[in-house]
Chain A
Amino acid sequence: MKQYYREIIFGIFILAVVGNITIFISSMKLSTEIHAFEQKTIVLKQENMELEKEMADSESFLHAKEYQLKWGFERSTRPVYVSDLPIALNTKR
């Protein structure tokens, strides 16, 4: 009977040691994963910010002005109807 209890206690002890080691290893793995995800999140945030910056740049007036000068848009887009309103006022030229 005594031998029987001893074996049970020894078994529980072994199980506890194995369980402990397993939890420890899995927690290490989890820590590594958390760390990796945090790093990925940081990189994603940076990439996101870079993309936002590129978007803002492409929509900026400085960018538009660069192309306006390049393609000579200034003269053709100048509104002519401000100082001459035959259509808006319904009058003949």
Chain B
Amino acid sequence: MTKLRLLLVCFLGVFCIIILRLFFIQVLHPDLQHDYLSTRKLQPERGKIYDRNGQPIVMNQILYHLFFEPKLITDKDKTALSLSKIIKMDEASISARIDQTKTWTSVRGSVSKVDRDAILKLNLPGMGFDEQWSRYYPDASIAAHLAGFVGKDEEGIDVGRSGVEGFYDKDLGGLPGLIRSDLDLQGKPIFLGTQERIDPENGRDIYLTIDKSVQMLVKEKLLAGLEKTGAKEGCAIIANPATMEIIALSCLPDYDPTTYYDFSNSVFRDAAISDSYEPGSTFKPLVMAAGIEAGLIKPDSIYDETGPVKIGEYTIRTWNNTYEGKITLTRALEKSSNVAMVYVGSKLGNIRLYDSILKYGFGKETNIDLEGEAAGNIRPKGDWYPIDYATATFGQGIAVTPIQMITAFSSIINGGKLMKPYVVKELRGEKIQKIDPILIKQIVGTKTSDLIKQMLLSTIENGETKFLKPKGYQIGGKTGTAQIPIEGHYDATKTIASFIGFSPIKNPQFIGLVIIKEPKSSQWGSETAAPIFFEIAKDLIVYYNIAPE
């Protein structure tokens, strides 16, 4: 019995210790439970962005956030001196952060792995690192506006801003997971304790329709063109006219997405989808196609170009104020005659002209899968005066976005199909989601489309300017020069020069739009935007292995 009693006393003693400890943890210090039961959020990996050939455009990397625990730092001067050499921060700033009244101070974010390893080798006390997920761009700002960037919201959580990052933020972001587990004194999980884990769902990878090689080419040519013409801004879009897959889209000036916080908000705007402009003469083929489709005109219809046309108190002239008498409408397009376009507009009639503009998709978003698209500006029908109908025929008095312009123009050269433009062709997560081209509506018939293509070919072959186009190849296109409206008037010295073209004629494989704002070398699209387009087209013909026609 003595032995059993001894055992009983031992058990009672152990139970008392356990009960006292539990009373201490659960009643006296309930806050300590956090040390035993840990709940952590498991961050998902943000989806990567690739080009159409699987080449990475946006990837992930882990950077480190360096912090001090100042109370543990023994030699303040040595710590500051050693760190200043590695993280390239002056000693005084580092010393200021070693405030020994505090338990934790932040030193610097975005420390690379190489720098972190170098710091760890120093074996200095009182410092540590937190991991930070960050985006990495192998080709820097090659597609800055298209890809967008990842910023932080008010709670410090990653949020995609602008471009693909903004539009597909939920797909790219994924879903965070959760881990709840009991930890021992060393912070290791207790196997027999609480163990709950919900794995994070990583973001889906995105495959763009963009071809990185074409994107690089377009950006380089546009940059060279802007330097040559002394223009303020510029945009170039290359697309497949049959599907409206965007192959390249570049607007300059752009920004470095890695250090987006160093740039002003104005450069984040993707002018290709967010800015409106007056398209000028590049609009003429659209009106011409509407006239042909309605059966009111033909490419060889004769117009008597005798002189300026008066609409109320306004006089409309040709760009060079010269008139050729009786000309065909093909010739009118070649010489970009404003007065002939007023004639085409009058044949169409105001209602049909206005409806045609809306039918091409102007005045509403194209719904391209990029964040920040604008609708342009087509005033309500009731606000239009006779002069507005006249100027609209040659692309003045209406505001369109570059993406609307290239989408509408594609429809008249691809057999009449208005397609929805898009930049993402595939989303890859657990399942693969393919994105197919979407037909919005049939705008003109195949016959009209073929006639317009021939007229646009003739515009390049017999136009006022002899373009430096590759021999043996057929390129169709149209130049445009629009004055910039400032406070209700046009400033003659400031223009937006543009060129829209495509090749080959029979079955166009690419369409390109180049827009440059306020060029200084010349105000004309034929002398500024067109050469940039032909420089791009020359290389695209080789890249796509297009045979001469």
A81 to B184, CA, bound (A): 73
**List of B residues within 8 angstroms of A35 by Cβ:** 188-189
Q: Which of A58-93 contact B (CB under 8 A)?
A: 59-62, 79, 81-85, 88-89
B472 at the interface (CB under 8 A from A): yes
Please measure, in the bound complex, the distance between the C-alpha atom of A28 and the C-alpha atom of B212, giving whole angstroms.
52
Contacts of B113 in A (CB 8 A): 46, 50
Contact residues, A11-68 vs B (CB, 8 A): 23-24, 27-28, 30-32, 34-35, 46, 49-50, 52-53, 56-57, 59-62
- Decide: A53 and B189 in contact? CB cutoff 8 A: no
With the chains together, A84 CA to B542 CA distance in Å? 13
Asked if B140 contacts A62 (CB within 8 A), the reply is yes
Q: A38–B113 Cα gap in the complex (Å)?
A: 20
Q: A28 with B191: in contact, given A56-B56, A61-B212 (CB under 8 Å)?
A: yes
CB nearest to A91 among chain B residues:
B472
Number of A-B contacts (CB under 8 A): 68
Report, as a range, how many residues of chain B touch the other chain.
20 to 34
CA of A60 to CA of B139, assembled, Å: 6
Closest chain B residue to A54 by CB distance?
B138
Given contacts A46-B62, A53-B59, A79-B542, contact A60 B138 (CB under 8 A): yes
Residues in chain A near residue B547, CB distance under 8 A:
88
What bracket does the count of chain A residues touching chain B fall in? Answer: 20 to 34
Cβ contact within 8 Å between A61 and B139 = yes
Chain B 163-221 interface residues, beta-carbon cutoff 8 Å to A: 184, 188-192, 212, 216
A73: min CB distance to chain B, Å: 15
A84 to B546, CA, bound (A): 15
Q: Which residues of A contact B191 (CB under 8 A)?
A: 27-28, 30-31, 34
Complex Cα distance, B190 from A59, in Å, reads 45
Distance in angstroms between the alpha carbons of A50 and B62 in the assembled complex = 8
Assembly CA distance A23 to B472 (angstroms): 83
Q: Least Cβ distance of A53 to chain B in Å?
A: 6
Tell whether A88 pairs with B55 under 8 Å between CB atoms, given A31-B184, A31-B191, A79-B542. no
Distance between Cα atoms of A27 and B181 in the complex (Å)? 14
Closest chain B residue to A32 by CB distance? B188
Q: Note all chain B residues with C-beta closer than 8 A to A27.
A: 190-192
Inside 8 A of A82's CB, which chain B residues have their CB?
Answer: 470, 538, 541-542
Give Cα A57 to B59, complex, Å.
11
The residues of A that contact B55 with a CB separation of less than 8 Å are 59
User: Nearest chain A CB to B269's CB is how many angstroms away?
Assistant: 25
Do B140 and A53 have beta carbons less than 8 Å apart?
no
Looking across the interface, which residue of chain A has its beta carbon closest to that of B189?
A31
Report whether A56 and B190 are in contact in the complex, using a CB–CB cutoff of 8 Å.
Answer: no
B471 at the interface (CB under 8 A from A): yes
Contacting A59 at CB < 8 Å: which of B136, B138, B184, B541? B138
Closest to B140 in A: A62
B435-472 residues with Cβ-Cβ distance < 8 A to A are 470-472
**A89 CA / B470 CA spacing, docked (Å):** 13
> What's the minimum C-beta distance from A19 to chain B, rounded to whole angstroms?
13
Query: In whole angstroms, how far apart are the Cα atoms of A56 and B212 in the complex?
Result: 13
Contact between chains at A31 and B190 (CB < 8 Å)? yes
Q: B residues within 8 A CB of A49?
A: 60-62
Binding site for A on B (CB under 8 A): 55-56, 59-62, 113, 136, 138-140, 142, 184, 188-192, 212, 216, 470-472, 538, 541-542, 547-548
A–B Cβ pairs within 8 angstroms, 27 of them: A24-B192, A27-B191, A31-B189, A31-B191, A34-B191, A35-B189, A46-B113, A49-B60, A49-B61, A49-B62, A50-B61, A50-B113, A53-B138, A56-B136, A57-B138, A59-B55, A60-B138, A61-B212, A61-B216, A62-B139, A82-B470, A83-B538, A84-B471, A85-B471, A85-B472, A85-B548, A88-B548
Task: Supply 9 further A-B pairs (C-beta < 8 A) apart from A34-B191, A53-B61, A81-B542.
Answer: A28-B191, A31-B188, A31-B190, A35-B189, A46-B62, A49-B60, A52-B59, A61-B139, A89-B472
A residues adjacent to B (C-beta < 8 A): 23-24, 27-28, 30-32, 34-35, 46, 49-50, 52-53, 56-57, 59-62, 79, 81-85, 88-89
Closest 10 CB pairs of A and B: A27-B191, A56-B138, A60-B138, A31-B191, A85-B472, A56-B56, A35-B188, A82-B470, A30-B191, A27-B192
